[in-house]
Amino acid sequence: MERTTAQWQAADAAHFLHPFTDFKALSAKGARIIQRAEGIYLWDSDGHKILDAMSGLWCVNVGYGQRALIDAAARQMAELPFYNAFFQTATPPAIELAEVLAEVTPPQFRHVFFSGSGSEGNDTVVRMVRRYWDLLGQPERQVIISRHNAYHGSTMAGASLGGMGGMHAQGGLPIPGITHIGQPHWWENGRPQGLSREDFGRVAAGWLEQKILEIGADKVAAFIGEPVQGAGGVIVPPESYWPEIQRICDKHGILLVSDEVICGFGRTGRWFGCERFGFKPDLMTFAKGVTSGYVPLGGVMVGERIAKVLIERGGEFNHGYTYSGHPVACAVALANIALIRQLKLVEHVHDDVGPYLAAQFQGLATHPLVGEVQTCGLMGALQLVKDPARGTPFASELEVGMVCRGHCFANGLIMRAVGDRMIVAPPLVITRAQIDEMMLLIRRCLDLTLADAQQRGWIG
């Protein structure tokens, strides 16, 4: 039976505890109820049309309503809705997907370990790198180095690898053997004077070497990072950063892990973010875009350096998930990858809409609220500041980002606020005309936010 928005909200508040949510605040306000979607648009329970500039949660790469994915799920559910991959069994969709992933990922990857999500994939990374060093007779290599303001998921290992202080504060994290260095975030690091961005990239990578020397290289198992930090605010590193990270990992024999949960499957204009930034990881976590979010699936691409040791040395790897290689999820992933290829979405981002988005975002650089603009493929960020010339931030308690996000919602645009950084990551199928439409909405919301800031005396 159809319910009214108020009825949905009441039932929601009565029973549903949402992720990353202040339960009390939400139940006072009522959730937005999203009912259907097509292409890059959503419709809420009041019939409002909303441009989804965040691809759901960075995942709906092929857009909503793609028949090929829907049919693949229905067909596979009818044929074989579930069987596991434990006990020396496998299903055709899981085998085929493993094969196709070996094709679309960089050449060092011939093997995959499936999980149900990105967080689980990163749990697998922790287990697997430690297993690798154990098998090589170096069990003291335990420490995994990550970065502040990284996001690697919300399980105990995922949240520990992540560098979100708020998450560590709840639950006694990080777990032992995980440590963090600074992020390659020009703005947060005070736009160091007398240092070019490229010099800053090398300095930020150098923090890894400092940490390795501090711990002792013989105790370090791996370094993990997102090619572009997503949830942290679309932080695009200087071009010098990743090659230098690679050099440092190679020098000390440390495994390099790329968390491609957002950057994978075309988001950066290449199939994977490591290809965009020119580095060669040993492990690669994926999720989100692998199925365009239509069903949950994640996993870890395992480089030959590691796969060879795991396979040749023998012995059971005591790890896995009920849904590792879930046939329906794998069938949808196969249809999704086939569609990305058929529609040439990676090329579409690289040659057409990626550069177009970059040019449009640059046009916002002179807006009186905007201190920094960054884009990479189909990701973009706008740093909102009180005084762009001086780079003076707003006081954080003003929550300017939330004010701007409120205007976005009210004007039919989903844009995310990370502190005072406004970010987008639209579906890869977006057209230039739709980017124009998105930019009009973004401009309008920035102007409304500016008017608020002036009226409340936050500026000038």
Ligand X SMILES: *Cc1c(COP(=O)(O)O)cnc(C)c1O
Give residues in contact with ligand X (CB under 6 A): 117-119, 122, 151-153, 226, 230-231, 259, 261-262, 287-288, 298
By beta-carbon proximity to ligand X, the closer residue of 97 and 262 is 262
Which CB, 287 or 445, lies closer to ligand X?
Answer: 287
The Cα-based distances of 86 to 77, 94, 153, 306, 352 in angstroms read 20, 12, 25, 21, 44
53: tokens are: 């500039």
Sheet strands (E) in 195-268: 220-225, 255-259
Distance from the first to the final alpha carbon of the chain: 53
- In terms of Cβ atoms closer than 10 Å to its own Cβ (0-12, 13-18, 19+), residue 271 is buried
**CA 326 from centre of chain:** 22
User: In whole angstroms, how close is the CB of 339 to ligand X at the nearest point?
Assistant: 21
CB of 87 to ligand X, least distance (A): 26
Nearest to ligand X of 226, 420 (CB atom) = 226
Check if the beta carbon of residue 125 is closer than 8 Å to that of residue 113: no
Alpha-carbon distances of 447 from 70, 261, 262, 338, rounded to whole Å: 40, 33, 29, 41
If one counts every other C-beta atom within 10 angstroms of the C-beta of residue 282, the result is 24
Least gap, CB of 379 to ligand X (angstroms): 11
**Which residue number, 149 or 434, has a Cβ lying nearer to ligand X?**
149
CB of 152 to ligand X, least distance (A): 5
The CA angle 103-96-299, to the nearest 5 degrees, is 75
| Least gap, CB of 159 to ligand X (angstroms) | 10
Q: Min. distance of Cβ 260 from ligand X in angstroms?
A: 8
Q: How far is the CB of 279 from ligand X (least distance, A)?
A: 16
Residue in the shown chain whose Cβ atom is closest to ligand X:
118
Q: Least Å distance between CB 428 and ligand X?
A: 16
Contacts of 67 (CB under 8 A, 6+ apart): none
341 conformational bin, left if phi > 0, alpha if psi -120 to 50, beta if neither:
alpha
By C-beta, is 404 or 425 nearer to ligand X? 425
CB neighbours of 132 closer than 8 A, spacing ≥ 6? Answer: 221, 255, 306, 309, 310
Using the minimum distance from each CB to ligand X, give the nearer residue, 224 or 369: 224
Of 259 and 275, nearer to ligand X (C-beta) is 259
What is the separation of C-alpha 150 from the centre of its chain, rounded to a whole number of angstroms?
A: 10
| Cβ-based neighbours of 51, under 8 Å, separated by 6 or more | 40, 41, 412, 413, 414, 434, 437, 438, 441
Closest approach of ligand X to the CB of residue 267, in Å: 10
Q: 208 vs 297, which CB is nearer to ligand X? A: 297
Residue number with CB closer to ligand X (424 or 446): 424
Residue closer to ligand X, measured from CB, 249 or 290: 290
Given a contact cutoff of 8 angstroms between Cβ atoms, the answer to whether 375 and 295 are in contact is: no
Measured between alpha carbons, how far is 340 from 347 in angstroms, rounded to an integer?
A: 10
Give bridge partners of residue 372 from the DSSP assignment.
Answer: 383
Query: Cα 354 to the chain's mean position, in Å?
Result: 17
Q: How far is the CB of 281 from ligand X (least distance, A)?
A: 13
- CA–CA gap between residue 189 and residue 191 (Å, rounded): 6
Choose between 209 and 226: whose C-beta lies nearer to ligand X.
226
Residue 295 and residue 192: Cα distance in Å, rounded? 43
Min CB(387)–ligand X separation in Å: 32
